[in-house]
């Protein structure tokens, strides 16, 4: 089954404790991205990757890092989480960066930073 | 910069009522448009998409949307809603920066 898998689904952590949210897709998609969803703000892109070893900042990249060492995986790293990073995070993948392709989303990770 | 506006933040309807959710985008080039739905506690799923051709697009679960270029709009419609349509709906547009930009979402509540 074609899917985007995120882990964990729920995470509560303390300020400053490094964490990683994993994302994996089995569709051989080139393009992957991370979004955060906050009430009234919709989805905002954090980082994206057009292919292996090619990553770039989205609209709200501060406080986040990513890596793309393999095509299928695109982890999101919070080196020193802060309470304003409490949010619902979605990983998404697309076949490519061109316009006429839809995004496939993971199940989401609800992160709480206390 | 490209943007997407969804003016209805929360819509409340009774079952069998007709639905229209507004979406306006600001992008002058060739547009690729999407509507996604997020059911409570779930991830976003594609409802329908417009890339080219017939401006009236039909999607899953009886939803449709009409692309009106002159109005920069891509409104979502359904003739008769059901309780199971309770969800949050996101309009999105592909931007020239190789990414999809989402609107702020419209929460739809259906009274049984």
B90 inside 8 A of chain A by CB: yes
First vs last C-alpha separation in chain B: 41
SS (H, E, C) A88-100: EEEEEEECCCCCC
Give the pLDDT confidence of A52-87 residue by residue, as tens digits: 999 999 999 999 999 999 999 999 999 999 999 999
Confidence class of residue A40 from pLDDT cuts 50, 70 and 90? confident
For residue B51, the chain A residues in CB contact (below 8 A) are 99-100
B104 inside 8 A of chain A by CB: yes
d(CA B100, CA B33): 9
d(CA B36, CA A11): 25
Give the per-residue pLDDT at A45.
Answer: 93
Q: Among the residues of chain B, which ranges form H helices?
A: none
d(CA A106, CA A43): 13
For residue A49, the chain B residues in CB contact (below 8 A) are none
B34 inside 8 A of chain A by CB: yes
């Amino acid at each position: 089954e074609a899917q985007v898998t995120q882990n964990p689904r729920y995470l509560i952590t303390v300020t400053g404790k490094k964490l990683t949210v994993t994302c994996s897709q089995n569709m051989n998609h080139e393009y992957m991205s991370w979004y955060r969803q906050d009430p009234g703000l919709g989805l905002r892109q954090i980082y994206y990757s057009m292919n292996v070893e090619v990553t770039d900042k989205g609209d709200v990249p501060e406080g986040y890092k990513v890596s793309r060492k393999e095509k299928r995986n695109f982890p999101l790293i919070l080196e020193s989480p802060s309470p304003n990073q409490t949010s619902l995070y979605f990983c998404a993948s697309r076949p490519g960066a061109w316009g006429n392709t839809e995004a496939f989303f993971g199940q989401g990770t609800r992160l709480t930073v206390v | 910069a490209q943007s997407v506006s969804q003016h209805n933040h929360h819509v409340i309807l009774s079952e069998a009522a007709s639905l229209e959710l507004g979406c306006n985008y600001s992008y002058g080039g060739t547009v690729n448009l999407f509507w996604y739905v997020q059911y409570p506690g779930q991830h976003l799923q594609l409802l329908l998409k417009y890339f080219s051709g017939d401006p009236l697009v039909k999607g899953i679960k009886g939803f449709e949307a009409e692309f009106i270029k002159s109005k920069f709009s891509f409104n979502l419609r359904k003739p008769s809603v059901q309780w199971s349509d309770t969800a949050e709906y996101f309009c999105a547009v592909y931007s020239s920066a190789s990414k999809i930009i989402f609107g702020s979402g419209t929460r739809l509540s259906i009274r049984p």
